[in-house]
Amino acid sequence: MVFVGEESLESTRSRRDGIAEQIPQSPPIGRFPMSRRGGGGGGGGGGRQGSEHESAAAVHVPGPCAATQRALAECHRSAARGPLRPEVLCRHLNRALAECLVTSCCPGETEAVRTLCGSAGTALKRSQCQRARIDLSLCLESHQEP
């Protein structure tokens, strides 16, 4: 994973506040996709990818997520030999790797979203949940390549 230059806290806060002002108030959104309660999206069709394409897209994941990444790669190799599509067969590992990567990049923001967005609550809690989601989004954005 490549980490891009660091952005000052002040700049991040001002961007976050600018984004928050642009977001219309709406009823609470269902579960956050990173909750530990399962569910989750998934979808879409498409056929199997060729092994050449998969190996070109493969990225080594260092640190605490490496074992999950290896398990996901092995699951995709096994799925290629069987009747089920890798998206279906390996969904649990894909989700686990995504959660691991997001948590290792932005641990505080991830925990804030889990805590504040885990259940319905008061208008204040919904507002705090929305703010936590924005903070997590900005944190993840700061770790992306340009």
- At 48-67, the pLDDT tens digits run 444 433 443 456 676 889 99
- At 96-132, the pLDDT tens digits run 999 999 999 999 999 999 999 988 778 899 999 999 9
Alpha-carbon torsion (32, 34, 37, 43), positive or negative: positive
CA distance linking residue 38 with residue 70, whole number of Å = 22
pTM beyond 0.85: no
Contact status, residue 96 vs residue 68, Cβ threshold 8 Å: yes
Least Cα distance to 68 among 88, 44, 96, 41 occurs for 96
CA distance linking residue 69 with residue 100, whole number of Å = 10
The H-or-E segment that residue 37 falls in is: none
Overall average pLDDT of the 67-80 stretch? 89
Residue-by-residue DSSP string for 74-111: HHHHHHHHSSS-HHHHTHHHHHHHHHHHHHHHSHHHHH
